[in-house]
């Protein structure tokens, strides 16, 4: 397997980064993950834009080369024989000339890493839905910056795993359900569609934005409001997770509450999203 490290194609074993790299030392790095379909990155422009905006917000500059990165993605998928999988682009603040603690300084050169691997979620999660467990976590003030500092998400997912669930749902005081540890979440209740607003300090996904637009074309106005756990009605409320590689995945259960399986909106959204994804790789 090969990767691109600082725009050089190298075998994984030769992809070496300094122990003083700020991505390793402080989690001072950003990333984007997108789906690869038929060897091509899906919705790459949208992911690139979010990465560039995150770099500006993190004072890393924004001088990434769109065409250069896209060509690296295409090349890497071919070299690694990835027809369907996931692409990850990671940018760290790099290694300062004289490592000196948490102060990032001003002279580091960015470290750019691009990886591509074959990957697919198991079919049964789309047929059966997934179980989720609520956790009293949230991403905090800098939620909109997609940082590699994912310890909170790792611990939340581990809590879900120990509880027999696949995904953890970040929940604020009062029971407001915000998002998954690695996904966004939508609820369907009494004919309305709900998803938490960005003001709740969520990481608003590229797929989430597309589904809000698609729902409107189907006559559903997505209400940007966090759905409350106390509002769940067993076998009446429906929910689904979204993610760039995950797509649209129904939720079978949250904590001990069994949800309704939506057989209309969820399949239609999934189908229309697939059409958008196909259009983006033409």
Domain match, 268 and 130 both: yes
Write phi, then psi, for 103 (nearest 5 degrees).
Answer: -65, 120
pLDDT at residue 83 in the model: 97
Domain match, 199 and 270 both: yes
* Number of domains comprising the chain: 2
Q: Are strands 176-180 and 167-171 parallel, antiparallel or unpaired?
A: antiparallel
Q: What angle do CA 199, 201, 205 make, to 5 degrees?
A: 95
Are the beta carbons of 32 and 88 closer than 8 angstroms?
yes
Are the beta carbons of 101 and 135 closer than 8 angstroms?
no
pLDDT in tens, 173-223: 889 999 999 999 999 999 899 999 999 999 999 999 999 999 999 988 889
Q: What angle do CA 210, 126, 90 make, to 5 degrees?
A: 55
pLDDT at 243 over 80: yes
Question: Domain ends where: 65, 95, 118?
Answer: 118
Are the beta carbons of 30 and 56 closer than 8 angstroms?
no
Q: Are strands 2-5 and 8-11 parallel, antiparallel or unpaired?
A: antiparallel
Domain match, 169 and 274 both: yes
Tell me the average pLDDT across 93-111: 80
Question: Domain ends where: 81, 103, 118?
Answer: 118
Domain match, 133 and 104 both: no
Greater pLDDT, 180 or 141: 180
pLDDT at residue 129 in the model: 97
| SS3 state of residue 213 | helix
Domain match, 114 and 175 both: no
pLDDT-derived band at 131, boundaries 50, 70, 90: very high
What is the C-alpha separation between 120 and 220, in angstroms, rounded? 29
Domain match, 22 and 140 both: no
β strands within the chain, DSSP E: 2-5, 8-11, 29-37, 40-41, 85-95, 109-118, 130-135, 167-171, 176-180, 184-189, 192-195, 222-224, 227-228, 238-243, 247-254, 257-258
Domain match, 130 and 79 both: no
Domain match, 67 and 33 both: yes
Angle between helices 265-280 and 206-217 (to 10 degrees): 120
pLDDT in tens, 252-280: 999 999 999 999 999 999 999 999 999 99
Domain match, 137 and 254 both: yes
Q: The domain that contains 47 carries what CATH number?
A: 3.30.470.10
Domain match, 273 and 210 both: yes
pLDDT-derived band at 103, boundaries 50, 70, 90: confident
pLDDT at 62 over 80: no
Range of the domain at 84: 2-118
Tell me the average pLDDT across 75-93: 97
Domain match, 97 and 131 both: no
Residues β-bridged to residue 180? 169
Domain match, 67 and 148 both: no
What is the C-alpha separation between 207 and 205, in angstroms, rounded? 5
What is the C-alpha separation between 7 and 114, in angstroms, rounded? 8
Are the beta carbons of 207 and 185 closer than 8 angstroms?
no
Q: The domain that contains 169 carries what CATH number?
A: 3.20.10.10
Question: Domain ends where: 102, 118, 134?
Answer: 118
pLDDT at residue 107 in the model: 67
């Amino acid at each position: 397997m090969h990767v691109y490290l600082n725009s050089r194609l190298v075998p994984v074993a030769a992809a070496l980064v300094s122990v003083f790299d700020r991505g390793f030392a402080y989690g001072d790095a950003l990333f984007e993950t997108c789906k690869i379909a038929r060897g091509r990155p899906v919705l790459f422009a949208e992911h690139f834009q979010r990465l560039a905006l995150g770099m500006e917000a993190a004072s890393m500059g924004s001088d990434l080369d769109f065409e250069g990165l896209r060509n690296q993605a295409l090349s890497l998928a071919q070299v690694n024989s990835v027809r369907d999988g996931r692409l990850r682009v990671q940018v760290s603040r790099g290694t300062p000339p004289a490592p000196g603690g948490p102060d990032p300084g001003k002279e580091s050169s960015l470290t750019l890493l691009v990886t591509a691997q074959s990957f697919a979620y198991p079919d049964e999660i789309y047929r059966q839905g997934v179980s989720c467990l609520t956790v009293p976590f949230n991403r905090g003030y800098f939620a909109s910056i997609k940082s590699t500092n994912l310890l909170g998400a790792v611990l939340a997912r581990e809590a879900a795993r120990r509880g027999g669930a696949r995904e953890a749902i970040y929940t604020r005081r009062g029971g407001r359900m915000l998002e998954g540890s690695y996904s966004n979440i939508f609820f369907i209740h009494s004919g309305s569609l709900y998803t938490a607003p960005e003001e709740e300090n969520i990481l608003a996904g590229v797929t989430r934005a597309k589904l809000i637009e698609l729902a409107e074309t189907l006559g559903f106005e997505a209400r940007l409001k966090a759905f409350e756990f106390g509002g769940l009605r067993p076998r009446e409320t429906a929910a689904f997770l979204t993610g760039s590689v995950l797509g649209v995945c129904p939720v079978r259960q949250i904590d001990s509450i069994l949800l309704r399986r939506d057989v209309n909106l969820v399949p239609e959204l999934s189908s229309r999203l697939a059409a958008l994804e196909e259009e983006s790789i033409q």
